[in-house]
Structure 1
């Protein structure tokens, strides 16, 4: 079991012993197994999660039953249904454990308290959210403009070590293509086309 380490999560920031104790007290460590559900649609979303090890997947299920993968969260990534988390509402996303993971969860109320008592935490989250927003915008533009082969190449750059751990239909739903198209792209790349 990987214990919470303030240095692992808040890289580049220094804390007094009192701040360290306060921050460490606000996080809870969870050990997840492949297939464990972290969040289901319709639930309130009081937490966000920092992935210390493993991989989680956030996805949406349409009324037709089709799944759309929004995000994979690997080591050093954060994940939640952020729309519901910040609005203190009900989730439209599901989050499952793709392969065994250790995550550290923190509630919105705990985050708000840390913002007030440990100012560099607020700076950290602001920087993280700015990067997340920029990344999310790039992903949307990629989905709108790039051919499937380039989307797949971008996926491999973003997530270099998880392809062998995820199901083909999860990857295809992330890329917005069919599993048949994914197989075709892999074959073309293997042949050097």
Structure 2
């Protein structure tokens, strides 16, 4: 696959690579164009890939034993997405990842990511920092779900995901916030 340098710079911000390193990066990423409605990952699938979102919007969600959906994350431009519990532990997926807006993705397997770490150590540091920030963001989200009102959670959502509302369904947003679509409508009217 051929990356142009601007895509590599977009994915690995602030890192500078030699021509040899660029060839290594090109050899391990695959570009994928996916249409709205595509399921990238189903519950119980083996998870061996992580996706960088160049364009589009995805969501990861969990379905409980009663069939109720819980949206864990929306993946937007310049974000990474996978079922990380399964990805890091080589277990089966607990979540589903759905494309909710046509997307262009770059995917990498766990094995190829480990290969990149060995070949280009600065990428190991890059992903470690990304992982630390993601962990902090998830912890912050858990605390906000425990301590904030639905209105406060909604305001935080639109700050985290600006301009996303027009592209996704209300029930996806409500599911992310842990409220009903009726409550979401009421909050929007009050604001």
Shorter-chain TM-score tier? over 0.9
Q: 1:82 aligned to 2:58?
A: no
Q: What is the aligned partner in structure 2 of residue 134 from structure 1?
A: 136
Q: Deviations over 1:84-131 (max 9, x none)?
A: 001111001000001011010000000001101100110100000010
- 1:60 is aligned to 62
**Cα RMSD for the two superposed structures:** 1.1
1:144 aligns with 2:146: yes
Q: How far does residue 3 in structure 1 lie from its aligned partner after superposition?
A: 5.5
Task: Map Cα deviations across residues 24-65 of structure 1 (whole Å, 9 max, x no partner).
Answer: 110001101111111000100010000000000000000000
Among 183, 186, 189, the residue aligned to 2:188: 186
Distance 1:103 1:88 in 2: 22
Q: Which runs of 4+ in 1 moved over 6 A?
A: none
Q: Determine the structure 2 residue equivalent to 1:20.
A: 22
Unmatched 5+ stretches in structure 2: none
> TM-score, normalization: structure 1?
0.95
State the distance in 1 between where 2:137 and 2:94 align: 21
TM-score using structure 2 length: 0.96
Task: Report the Cα distance in structure 2 between the residues aligned to 1:3 and 1:12, rounded to whole angstroms.
Answer: 17
Provide the rounded CA distance (Å) in 1 between the counterparts of 2:178 and 2:26: 39
Structure 1: gaps of 5 or more residues: none
Q: Return the alpha-carbon distance in structure 1 between the equivalents of residues 69 and 49 of structure 2.
A: 23
Residue 162 (structure 1) aligned to one of 164, 168, 171: 164
User: Which of 153, 156, 159 lines up with 2:155 in the alignment?
Assistant: 153
Give the match's secondary structure for 1:63: coil
Question: Partners of 2:125 and 2:131 in 1: how far apart?
Answer: 10
Aligned-partner SS, 1:83: helix
